[in-house]
Amino acid sequence: MNVSAQWQFDLPGHARPGDGDLAERWYPDIQSAWPKCTSPRVYDPIDGIRAVVIHGTQGSSSSGAVSVMHAGKASFHWLVPDENEDAHGKFAWACVPEARAAWHVRNSASHPEVWNGENRINHFSLGIEIVNAQDKKDPFSDWQVEMTARIVRYCWLKYPNLKHVVAHARLDPDRRKDPTELFPWERFRSLVLTGSDARLVAAQTDGDDDAGGYAVYG
Ligand SMILES: [Zn+2]
């Protein structure tokens, strides 16, 4: 199976979603990491956004992923927590302001189908990391896939020139395999494009506290 062929889809500009609500909270004390691992965007922070990049952390916890930011090695805009974490099923962690470039793709990486092969992708993209071991044994939870789709739909509504949804593996195939073939790319694509997954709809229309937090702003 040619997995790499599944690693990108483009968002039709005429079908932007109307439901852009996003359950997110700032990761505690994350601001102190920003001087070490983020940059001012070279493009306009609204009109310049062309892509969302999907990653897997290759780790087992949100705190482990965030430690990479504090070490000044890499960064990402959102972090989707793992099954055994309190935030799972409730919200994503916001880690870098969208207006700043996070460091999640190598500067020299590019792909001809992502903004005509421009490099320095961090400057025209947003990065989502999903906590996952990336060891071919750790499945992504349904909620992780749904939350990641929610974030992309939020971005799709917000950024007028956003077009590409692409896996890190497609942008840097010699060095990266994330989010790996365990990530259900087809279900994810369907959730993003239609927003019609039964579980998502149920969570959005259920007023109970255990509805999954989709309607709650952090
Ligand atoms: Zn990655």
pLDDT in tens, 73-127: 999 999 999 999 999 999 999 999 999 999 999 999 999 999 999 999 999 999 9
Question: In 3-state terms, what secondary structure has residue 42?
Answer: coil
| CA 169 / ligand 1 centre spacing (Å) | 7
Estimate to the nearest angstrom the gap between the alpha carbon of 32 and the chain centroid: 21
Average pLDDT of 50-72?
97
CA 13 to ligand 1 center in whole angstroms: 26
Give 43-211's CATH code, choosing from 3.40.80.10, 3.90.550.10, 3.40.1280.10, 3.40.50.300: 3.40.80.10
State in Å: Cα 49 to ligand 1 middle. 18
49, 124 Cβ separation under 8 angstroms: yes
pLDDT of residue 8: 97
What mean pLDDT comes out for the span 158-182?
96
